[in-house]
Amino acid sequence: MAYIAVTSAALLTVLLLVPQLFGTFTAYQIGLFLIYGIVAQGIGFLWGKTGILPLGQAIFFGIAAYACAQILKNIDSLPLQIALFVVVVACLALLGFALAFIVFKGRSDSGPYFSLITLALAMICEQVAGTATNTTGGFNGIYGYPTIANLDQFNELYYVIAIVTVLSTAAISVLNTLPAGLVARAVSDNEKRMQLFGFPTHLVKGLVFGLSAAFAAVAGILFANHQGIVTPTSTGFLLSANLVIWTAVGGRNHVYGPLIGAVGIGYLSSELRGSFVYWEVIVALVFIIVVLKYPGGIAGYLVDIFCRFKKNIRSTELHLCNAPAISTSIVQPKLIFSKTKVKMGPVRILNGVDLVTPKTGIVCIIGPNGAGKTSLLNAITGNLIVSAGSVSLDNKYIHNLPTHKAFACGIARKLQVPSVFFSLTVFENIALAVIAGRARFLDFFRPSTLKWRTAELTNLLNSEAMTALVDMEKPVSALAQGHRQFLEFAMTTAVQPKVLLLDEPCAGLSPDETRMMTNLVRDFQERNNGLIILIEHDMSIVRDLADRVVVLHQGAVLFEGSYDDVRNNKSVQDVYSGGTK
């Protein structure tokens, strides 16, 4: 926090010095690109953190600018003007939120499609602005209105712009350090995992897009004041594309990147375009080289250099605090499958599963490849559509719920191929698991939330099996596959689920590691006393763990009983004879 205060103060000083050092006209020109920089910061946060690339950010910028021009033209009272500006920003933020929320609902990707929708919308806005002559003045635009409080565009207005720039920079810097920022990054890293942790990811994307729209709207209002004219180009595709270019060249991952990009490239272009013929060619070349060689942009490059000189700036000392208890409504974690069917194209994957699990205990599911074991778990967590029949937990139907709602029912799942957040550190991975289901809305905006730990989790992390995870600052992408299995197990059990679904937790583990994993599962069951459903091929693991064994074959339950029953059953032997490692 202190770091943010210092850098914000430094930025403010630099911006305030500009008119003194270079004169008010230069300050006026730079002011325009600071305004674009604010929009670009919103784009940078959206794109850098959640991976969504907006190609039509000028929609919000332009609409706000037009609205501002009309307000200034028709309304004289300053308080009313400001109130209406707030309304405009709020409405556009809401519009952005609704757009992303609706489009991303029921999907789990960062969607080039969404980018193209915003692109098409920007083109529509530009066309409409050019045609609807009565409200927008057509191609000539709206002009001849006063600035807010009659500020001098060439003098006082610059300071307003400077202050808003500093505020927007500080806001994003703070957001980056908060759990909310981590959640946004996690969504772009592994959306499926976030849904399994109960986060409605389309809501997260909607909120972040709404935030970026608000930034664009604020900038649009400043723009209308600054330029004294609003034309269709201010809501069009070309401006949107330029904003993205500035963000990319400046660096989308860092809060100062978009500012550097907008002011650096934008201002220099407008200065040099007239006097130097090849300038545009140079800009295009620089842009291509940045995208090719320095995907982090100028800011990313500077940060890399900075880190090379100053390693390990983060203090390793952590003051962890106790996480609040997790609450679930279910009392009887008894899963009931009733004639459950799942189809994929013409193939019937589950063909009428009838199964009632006990309330507690470890149920092992075995069966040949393609018998529908993983699909059974997918039907529980809403990753596959149940076409007929039902799945219920604690007497409530849970099939065909969105994935994130399964979590609220007390269900956690470890996937077959370890599903963790690869671009984040071990610490951040664990933090997300502890936040899941525990944090209330305000907790996402408190830095201390990141330090939550439970006693069980601390014990688990100190155990022999987790030695590979000791270096908490290590990125998960540097862990071996087997160690990711242990990390994902720790994360999945951190949420203390009543129903734990484990899909081949020992796949790819050595005999020693397999022993450690089975011990972890058994220990967890003794403490938690819930229901565990475990898919496994290795019969020695099944013998060690299972209270009950279910044999699936061709999408239906072939047999269920104790380990010995299964071993001695003739029909099971016919289709399946388990082996050991």
Partner 1 sequence: MSSILLLNILWQVSILAMVTIGLGIVFGQLKIMNMAHGELVMIGAYAPVITSHLGLSGYLQLPICVATVGLTALIMERTVIRHFYGRPFDSLLATWGLSILMREIVEMIFGREYQSVSSPLPGTMSLLGTDYPIYRVVVILGVAVFFFTLLLWYRRSKVGTEIKAMVENPALAQAVGINTSRLSSVCFVFGAVSAGIAGMVLAPTTRVEPMMGLDYLIRSFFSLVVGGLGSLEGLFIGVGLIGGIQSTIGAFFNQTYGYLFVLTLSILFLWLKPNGLYRSN
Partner 2 sequence: MTSTLLRFKNIVGGYGNTMVVSDISGTIGKGEVLGIFGRNGVGKSTLSKLLAGALPMSVGSLLLNNKDISFTSNHERRQRGIGYMPQTAMVFDNLTVRENLSLARSTQDMKYYLSAFPRLAERQTQIAGSMSGGERKILAFVRTMLEETCLVILDEPSEGVQPENILKMQECIERRKAKGTSFVLVEQNMSMLTSISDFYIGIDSGRIVFESDKKSASRQDILSVLSV
- Minimum CB separation of residue 293 from partner 2 in Å reads 16
Question: Cα 258–162–223 angle (5° rounding)?
Answer: 75
The residue with tokens 């800011």 is 299
Which of 11-16's residues contact partners 24+ apart within 8 Å by CB, and which partners? 11/165, 11/166, 11/169, 11/256, 12/162, 12/163, 12/166, 15/162, 15/165, 15/166, 16/159, 16/162
User: What's the token pair of residue 230?
Assistant: 């609003």
User: Per rule CB under 8 A, is residue 578 in the interface with partner 2?
Assistant: yes
Q: Which does 578 bind (CB under 5 to 8 A by kind): partner 1, partner 2, none?
A: partner 2
Farthest-apart Cα atoms in the chain, separation: 92
- Minimum CB separation of residue 552 from partner 2 in Å reads 11
Residue closer to partner 2 by CB (options 269, 416) is: 416
Pairing of strands 142-143, 335-344: unpaired
How is residue 266 annotated by DSSP?
I
CA distance 327 to 244: 43
Q: Which does 508 bind (CB under 5 to 8 A by kind): partner 2, partner 1, none?
A: partner 2
- Minimum CB separation of residue 349 from partner 2 in Å reads 8
- Minimum CB separation of residue 515 from partner 2 in Å reads 9
- Residue from 112, 146, 358, 511 binding partner 1 (CB under 8 A): 112
**Burial of 248: CB neighbours in 10 Å, binned 0-12, 13-18, 19+:** buried
Residues 6 or more apart in contact with residue 91 via CB below 8 angstroms: none
Question: Cα 492–494–499 angle (5° rounding)?
Answer: 55
| Region of 120-128, 213-221, 245-253, 502-510 interacting with partner 2 (CB under 8 A) | 502-510
User: What's the token pair of residue 39?
Assistant: 């929009």
CA distance 44 to 556: 49
Q: Which does 144 bind (CB under 5 to 8 A by kind): partner 2, partner 1, none?
A: none
User: Per rule CB under 8 A, is residue 344 in the interface with partner 1?
Assistant: no
Strand partners, 556: 553
- Residue from 6, 9, 281, 344 binding partner 2 (CB under 8 A): 344
* Stretch 531-570 residues interacting with partner 2 (CB under 8 A): 537, 539
> Nearest-CA neighbor of 183 among 491, 495, 439?
439
**Burial of 175: CB neighbours in 10 Å, binned 0-12, 13-18, 19+:** middle
User: Per rule CB under 8 A, is residue 291 in the interface with partner 1?
Assistant: yes
User: Per rule CB under 8 A, is residue 103 in the interface with partner 1?
Assistant: yes
- Minimum CB separation of residue 263 from partner 2 in Å reads 34
Strand partners, 551: 366, 559
Q: State the binding string over 223-242 for partner 1 (x if CB under 8 A, else -).
A: ------------------x-
User: Per rule CB under 8 A, is residue 369 in the interface with partner 2?
Assistant: yes
User: Per rule CB under 8 A, is residue 382 in the interface with partner 2?
Assistant: no
Residues 6 or more apart in contact with residue 163 via CB below 8 angstroms: 12
Residues 6 or more apart in contact with residue 428 via CB below 8 angstroms: 182, 186, 421
User: Per rule CB under 8 A, is residue 433 in the interface with partner 1?
Assistant: no
User: Per rule CB under 8 A, is residue 336 in the interface with partner 1?
Assistant: no
Q: How far apart are the first and last CA of the chain?
A: 53
User: Per rule CB under 8 A, is residue 373 in the interface with partner 2?
Assistant: yes
| Region of 2-10, 81-89, 247-255, 504-512 interacting with partner 2 (CB under 8 A) | 504-512
User: Per rule CB under 8 A, is residue 385 in the interface with partner 1?
Assistant: no
- Residue from 40, 53, 355, 476 binding partner 1 (CB under 8 A): 53
The residue with tokens 């320095």 is 294
- Residue from 38, 157, 509, 521 binding partner 2 (CB under 8 A): 509
- Residue from 513, 523, 547, 565 binding partner 2 (CB under 8 A): 513
Residue closer to partner 2 by CB (options 274, 346) is: 346
- Residue from 483, 534, 542, 558 binding partner 2 (CB under 8 A): 483
DSSP per position, 203-224? HHHHHHHHHHHHHHHHHHHHHH
| Contacts to partner 2 by CB under 8 A | 344-347, 367-375, 416-417, 468, 479-483, 504, 507-513, 537, 539, 576-581
| Contacts to partner 1 by CB under 8 A | 51, 53, 102-103, 111-117, 120-121, 123-124, 127-128, 131, 241, 244-245, 248, 277, 280-281, 283-285, 287-288, 291-292, 295
